[in-house]
Amino acid sequence: MHVVVNAAASVDGKLSNRRREQVEISGEEDFARVDRVRAENDAVLVGIGTVLADDPHLTVDGQSLRAARQAEGRPANPVRVVADSRGRTPTDARILDEAAETYVLVSEAAPENRIEALESAGATVIVTGEERVSLSEAFRSLESCGVESVMVEGGGEVIFSLFEEGAADELRVYVGSMVVGGRDAPTLADGEGFVEGFPTLSLREVERLDDGVLLSYDVE
Ligand SMILES: NC(=O)C1=CN([C@@H]2O[C@H](COP(=O)(O)OP(=O)(O)OC[C@H]3O[C@@H](n4cnc5c(N)ncnc54)[C@H](OP(=O)(O)O)[C@@H]3O)[C@@H](O)[C@H]2O)C=CC1
Ligand SMILES: Nc1nc(O)c(N)c(N[C@@H]2O[C@H](COP(=O)(O)O)[C@@H](O)[C@H]2O)n1
């Protein structure tokens, strides 16, 4: 599985504010780039924290991008994936509408009635990990469903786990020219944090977009 992590952060590294409300960090050019990255990949993944905070749709906005995918024999939108150990995804979440196929990754701790509710709402449920979803194991299951590349859009908890599991191949961070602040505001990589063995990155490209900068890295 090829894993591209993409996020937008303020100059002080925050993905959103201390109330976990969505903050528009990207500008028009960066949102258009994000749409192209979505269109390039077979799947778009977020954690349940992002679903509960933002209720994202995770589809491709550009009609020509969707048409190009279909011309290649692919579905108009990539599949949507949520890492959601206990099956907390609301059944009326936008990611469960009919615009694309949706996989909900749950752990063995997910209540059976939540799995049934999600399946009734149209999701394909994959059980992986004991208490918490194992992302690496889930990627292997997704590969057997034909998913070869995934764009991870956050949030900070899931991004940290990807680095911890050594599962990320690329990182693209759009740094918006703003300061959000707040010790409790989500950052690019939350989780427990590293005290040693910090993942290292190789800077591939720096590009000015809107009023900010896109940093593209390969994960070493
Ligand atoms: N600016 C940007 O680019 C973006 C900003 N955001 C912002 O980020 C915030 C949400 O981020 P955050 O709260 O970190 O939420 P995440 O989207 O990272 O979801 C975290 C939750 O995912 C579940 N999960 C399942 N498996 C794993 C795993 N292996 N590792 C880690 N988590 C796992 C956990 O819940 P459980 O144990 O129940 O499974 C965990 O609490 C929102 O405020 C949103 O607006 C989000 C995306 C992009
Ligand atoms: N790239 C980017 N820039 C920002 O400024 C953002 N706030 C986000 N947030 C992410 O985009 C998702 C919304 O997706 P839809 O437009 O609803 O499809 C949101 O959930 C975050 O993952 N991203």
Q: What's the complex ipTM?
A: 0.98
Distance 18 CA to ligand 1 centre (A): 14
pLDDT band for position 180 (cuts 50, 70, 90): very high
Distance 158 CA to ligand 1 centre (A): 5
Record the tokens describing residue 66, joined without a space.
């969707």
Rounded Cα–Cα distance for residues 151 and 86 (Å): 22
Which atom in ligand 1 lies closest to the alpha carbon of residue 174?
3
Domain 2-219: give its CATH code: 3.40.430.10
Q: Is the CB of 156 under 6 A from ligand 1?
A: yes
Q: What is the pTM of this model?
A: 0.98
Rounded Cα–Cα distance for residues 84 and 64 (Å): 32
The average confidence (pLDDT) of the chain is 98
pLDDT band for position 209 (cuts 50, 70, 90): very high
Q: Mind listing the pLDDT tens digit for each residue in 66-121?
A: 999 999 999 999 999 999 999 999 999 999 999 999 999 999 999 999 999 999 99
